[in-house]
Amino acid sequence: MTSPVLVELEGVTKSYGKGQAAVQAMRGVDLRINSGDFVAMMGPSGSGKSTCMNIIGCLDQPSTGVYRFMGTDVGGISRNQRALIRRQFIGFVFQGFNLLPRTTALENVELPLIYRGMPRAERQRQAREALAAVGLLDREGHSPAELSGGQQQRVAIARALATQPALLLADEPTGNLDTPRSHDIMGLLTELNRERGITIVMVTHEAEMAAYAHHIVNFRDGRIAGERQNGESR
């Protein structure tokens, strides 16, 4: 049985600036991502992959074309409605971890639940569940400075998981990690995709990390230059 389409882009373009200074970041991109997929977006700097991720994450809007998320035409809704989609359905993981330095791992993971207005006892329960899912429940009282780079990225992933997202967007999630820690994080993302059914879209420059994904999309000059299913995904 085919999984439902979660993300759909049709003829999406994105330009910045005007006139001769205009930059075409995306040039007519068509893309479908099914629920439960694990997609790696690759390409050189300026190829359009990060712009595409920003549009998928409702952080930016297409200049032309259509973007549908869970069947909703995102271009036809308000900024507040896009923000609601981000809060309710999308988790973000970044290269730089983006943890608050003077708070504990637990408090960092609680942060998006505070924005939801969740009562303290409930948000701490969900935050602890998320930390347990990434194997760091025993580090809940540690600050980022007391954690390794790999552990900090696991906390960042737990923070994204705490909201129980349908879609996890990971922008160069291993970019600041050494090779062993990178494979550790990719193994965790693979497990979350396989065991929890979370759809993952990851931007990466590294073919070794992209090999963990099911579906690899190559960007060049604002267009999709090629797509392939990865039969060697782990």
- pLDDT reading at 233 higher than 80: no
What is the per-residue pLDDT across 98-123, written as a single tens digit (0 to 9) for each? 999 999 999 999 999 998 889 999 99
Burial class (CB in 10 A: 0-12, 13-18, 19+), 164: middle
Residues 69/59, Cβ–Cβ less than 8 Å: no
What is the per-residue pLDDT across 204-224, written as a single tens digit (0 to 9) for each? 999 999 999 999 999 999 999
Distance CA 38, CA 40 (A): 7
**Residue 120 covered by a domain:** yes
CATH code for the domain of 102: 3.40.50.300
**Residue 200 covered by a domain:** yes
Instruction: Return the number of other C-beta atoms located less than 10 Å from residue 94's C-beta.
Output: 16
Mean of pLDDT values over 147-162: 94
Position 21 scores a pLDDT of 82
Residues 36/199, Cβ–Cβ less than 8 Å: yes
**Residue 102 covered by a domain:** yes
**Residue 160 covered by a domain:** yes
Q: Which domain holds residue 47?
A: 5-229
- pLDDT reading at 172 higher than 50: yes
**Residue 87 covered by a domain:** yes
- pLDDT reading at 173 higher than 70: yes
Domain count, the chain: 1
DSSP structural state of residue 18:
S
pTM assigned to the model: 0.92
Distance CA 91, CA 56 (A): 11
Q: pLDDT category, 231, cuts 50, 70, 90?
A: low
DSSP structural state of residue 3:
P
**Residue 117 covered by a domain:** yes
Mean of pLDDT values over 134-142: 95
Distance CA 79, CA 99 (A): 25
